[in-house]
């Protein structure tokens, strides 16, 4: 009642109550819609791939359904479709709030989710039809790379503009990471994709592998990780209602990431014929990534002290904190498996595949899902369609992930130990079959969770907003004259 009165008064004064973050939230909403749509689609691709490991004649009649085509589609869809969209949505929500001002150039920013996702989708269709640059993680054809670069440029312009012209004095740590990402990643993308050489998008010889893995690891290190850390630094204190433990630790982790993460790409090529000094640089920076990871872990862990119980009561926080824990696990795992001796043993098997999923699914996709669950009701002003389905998503996703992850990790160890005893690759395959089946079952459960997630969010979008409540109770309102 009070609100209605207030609105009537404002109307008579010919002004309107406007949320200064409306524009940014609308863009964030588009990002979340894309992320939510891609989630079931590209995890289904992954499920098909998992089946092919123990049922090799499954879907082999056409070129585009073979493993070699669906795998890059799954990887690019998951990376640039699901996870990037989710994290970028969160970024567009966070940056104006921490800058205490509306998004800079919102009209320009509004094209980014569409440009990005249309580029990624058409790129994936091209890959499925065989037009691939055939460099792992950098398969997207040159023309799509151009689209991605334009989108990155617009985003950098908008986000850096917003941060530069902020009204808030303090520069909160999430903003460092977002600003850094917007500066680093376009460069990484340009160099890593060898964009000055359009026909192949590649160089000749092992140098191409060096460039490819500089990109391949930094798409994780200077894109997902830095976006994700920005998101964790914002949402974990924000949702748990605790202030950040230490700014100094954040500073250390920021510079450690910028310096050490940039150099780790060579650890993908530790037994390949690249210069030995490059391998040494890669191994040292890989080990020193522990600096960044542990400072971040301590910072968030101390922020959550006495508040861990909230992950029981607060479901979105549970997703986000699970993502944070997975990030710590995967980073420590990564630092150890990037050493020469462990890498010699673990390379080439399903273990690294498990490692990649721990990062992208466990850490970043779970976080993106948590953020989506928490933000979509706040952005749209609607109640989440079903808390119960959110809970079902969690339990299916979590249980499925445990089986999925352990299936791959065990398959990896079995294969690696077989090879270490000089068994040939083909003769070791039958031993891996049970683990492939466990992986597919776990993955299948995750796919079910993905469909439930998408259904819940779609129903939330489609539901009618409740009448007579203030749309976004926890957001600042400003009065803007019409």
Partner 1 sequence: MTDDKGQDSDFEKIREDVVHIEEDLRKELHHHNLFPLIAGGLAVFFLMTSMVVAMPFMFYTATPSSIAHEYTPLEAEGRSLYTSLGCFYCHSQFNRPTDWATGNTSQAGDYVYDQPHTLGTERTGPDLAQIGGQRPTIWHELHYRDPRSVSPSSVMPNFGFLSDEQIEALIAYIQYEGGKNLETENFQPQVPSNYQNASNPFMSLMMEVAMDYNASSQEYTGDPLLGDNWADIFNDGKQLFTEKCLACHGCSGNGQGPYARHVLTRPANLNERIMNYPGDYFHFWRLSEGVPGTAMPRWMLSLNETTRWKIATYEMSFVLGAIRTISGDVSDTEGDVFANSTKITPPINGTQQEFEEGQSIFLLYCAQCHGATGQGDGPTSITSPGGYISPEPANFTESGGDFPVYGRYVWKVQEGVETTNMPPWKFALSDEEIFNVIFFIQSFSTPEDYNAKWAPQYADPFAQNLMR
Give residues 355-414 in contact with partner 1 (rule: CB under 8 A): none
**Angle of CA points 345, 297, 25, to nearest 5°:** 110
From candidates 13, 125, 207, 478, binder to partner 1 by CB under 8 A: 207
By CB under 8 A, residue 143 contacts partner 1: no
CB of 440 to partner 1, least distance (A): 12
Among 188, 254, 249, smallest CA distance to 220 is for 188
By CB under 8 A, residue 452 contacts partner 1: no
**Angle of CA points 132, 57, 437, to nearest 5°:** 95
Nearest CB to partner 1, comparing residues 29 and 101: 101
φ, ψ of residue 263 to 5 degrees: the values are: -100, 5
Among the candidate windows 175-183, 229-237, 300-308, 363-371, which touches partner 1 by CB under 8 A?
175-183
Among the candidate windows 164-172, 233-241, 294-302, 362-370, which touches partner 1 by CB under 8 A?
164-172
From candidates 4, 7, 66, 391, binder to partner 1 by CB under 8 A: 66
Token pair for 422:
């000089």
CB of 134 to partner 1, least distance (A): 4
Among the candidate windows 36-44, 207-215, 318-326, 449-457, which touches partner 1 by CB under 8 A?
207-215
Say which DSSP state 266 is in: G
Give the H/E segment covering residue 228. helix 225-240
Of 30-59, binders to partner 1 (CB under 8 A) are 52-54, 56-57
Of 232-271, binders to partner 1 (CB under 8 A) are 254-255, 258-260, 262-263, 265-266, 268-269, 271
CB of 317 to partner 1, least distance (A): 28
Among 136, 334, 343, 95, smallest CA distance to 227 is for 95
CB 456 within 8 A of CB 384: yes
Nearest CB to partner 1, comparing residues 31 and 185: 185
CB 227 within 8 A of CB 179: no
- Cα 299 to Cα 303: distance, rounded to the nearest angstrom: 6
Nearest CB to partner 1, comparing residues 285 and 393: 285
Look at strands 15-18 and 478-481 and give their pairing.
antiparallel
The stretches of 53-83 forming alpha helices (DSSP H) are: 67-76
Nearest CB to partner 1, comparing residues 29 and 267: 267
Radius of gyration of the chain (CA): 23
By CB under 8 A, residue 221 contacts partner 1: no
Query: Could you give the C-alpha distances from 469 to 11, 18, 23, in angstroms and in order?
Result: 17, 15, 21
Of 267-306, binders to partner 1 (CB under 8 A) are 268-269, 271-275, 278, 281-282, 285
CB of 433 to partner 1, least distance (A): 9
By CB under 8 A, residue 209 contacts partner 1: yes
Nearest CB to partner 1, comparing residues 266 and 443: 266
CB of 308 to partner 1, least distance (A): 30
Nearest CB to partner 1, comparing residues 135 and 382: 135
Tokens 């791939």 correspond to what residue? 49
Say which DSSP state 426 is in: H
Nearest CB to partner 1, comparing residues 247 and 391: 247
Among 353, 368, 262, 299, smallest CA distance to 31 is for 368
Of 69-88, binders to partner 1 (CB under 8 A) are 69, 71-72
By CB under 8 A, residue 171 contacts partner 1: yes
Task: Give Cα 370 distance to the centre of its chain.
Answer: 12
Q: Pseudo-torsion of CA 457, 462, 467, 468, nearest 10°?
A: 50
- Cα 405 to Cα 350: distance, rounded to the nearest angstrom: 10
By CB under 8 A, residue 15 contacts partner 1: no
Count interface residues toward partner 1 (CB under 8 A): 87
From candidates 156, 202, 326, 452, binder to partner 1 by CB under 8 A: 202
By CB under 8 A, residue 187 contacts partner 1: yes
By CB under 8 A, residue 352 contacts partner 1: yes
Residue 464: how many other CB atoms lie within 10 Å: 6
By CB under 8 A, residue 478 contacts partner 1: no
Of 92-111, binders to partner 1 (CB under 8 A) are none
């Amino acid at each position: 009642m009070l609100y209605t009165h207030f609105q009537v008064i404002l109307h008579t004064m010919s002004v309107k109550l406007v949320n200064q973050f409306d524009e940014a939230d609308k863009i964030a909403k588009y990002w979340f819609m894309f992320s939510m749509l891609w989630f079931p689609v590209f995890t289904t691709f992954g499920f098909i791939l998992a089946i092919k490991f123990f049922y090799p004649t499954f879907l082999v009649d056409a070129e585009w359904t073979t493993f070699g085509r669906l795998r890059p589609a799954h990887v690019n869809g998951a990376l640039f479709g699901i996870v990037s969209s989710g994290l970028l949505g969160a970024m567009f929500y966070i940056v104006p709030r921490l800058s205490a001002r509306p998004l800079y150039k919102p009209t320009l920013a509004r094209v980014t989710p569409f440009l990005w996702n249309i580029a990624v989708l058409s790129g994936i269709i091209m890959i499925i039809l065989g037009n691939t640059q055939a460099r792992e993680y950098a398969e997207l054809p040159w023309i799509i790379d151009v689209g991605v670069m334009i989108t990155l440029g617009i985003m950098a312009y908008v986000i850096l503009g917003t941060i530069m012209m902020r009204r808030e004095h303090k520069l909160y740590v999430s903003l460092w990471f977002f600003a850094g990402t917007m500066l680093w990643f376009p460069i990484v993308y340009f160099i890593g994709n060898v964009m000055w050489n359009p026909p192949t998008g590649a160089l000749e010889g092992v140098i191409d592998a060096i460039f490819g893995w500089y990109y391949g690891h930094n798409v994780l290190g200077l894109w997902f990780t830095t976006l994700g850390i920005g998101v964790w630094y914002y949402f974990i204190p924000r949702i748990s209602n605790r202030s950040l433990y230490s700014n100094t630790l954040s500073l250390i982790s920021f510079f450690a990431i910028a310096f050490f993460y940039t150099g780790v790409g060579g650890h993908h090529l530790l037994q390949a014929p690249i210069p030995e000094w490059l391998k040494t640089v890669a191994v040292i920076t890989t080990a020193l990534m522990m600096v960044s990871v542990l400072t971040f872990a301590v910072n968030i862990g101390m922020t959550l002290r006495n508040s861990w119980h909230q992950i029981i009561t607060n479901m979105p926080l549970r997703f986000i904190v699970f993502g944070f824990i997975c990030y710590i696990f995967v980073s420590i795992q990564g630092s150890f498996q990037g050493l020469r001796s462990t890498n010699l043993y673990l390379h080439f098997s399903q273990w690294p595949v498990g490692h990649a999923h721990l990062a992208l699914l466990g850490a970043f996709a779970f976080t993106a899902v948590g953020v989506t669950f928490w933000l979509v009701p706040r952005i749209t002003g609607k109640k989440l369609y079903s808390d119960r389905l959110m809970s079902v998503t969690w339990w299916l996703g979590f249980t499925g992930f445990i089986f999925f992850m352990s299936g791959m990790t065990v398959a990896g160890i079995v294969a690696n130990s077989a090879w270490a005893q000089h068994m040939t690759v083909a003769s070791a395959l039958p031993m891996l079959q049970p683990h492939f089946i466990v992986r597919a079952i776990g993955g299948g459960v995750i796919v079910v969770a993905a469909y439930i997630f998408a259904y819940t969010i779609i129903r939330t979008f489609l539901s009618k907003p409740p009448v007579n409540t203030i749309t976004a109770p926890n957001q600042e309102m400003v009065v803007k004259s019409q």
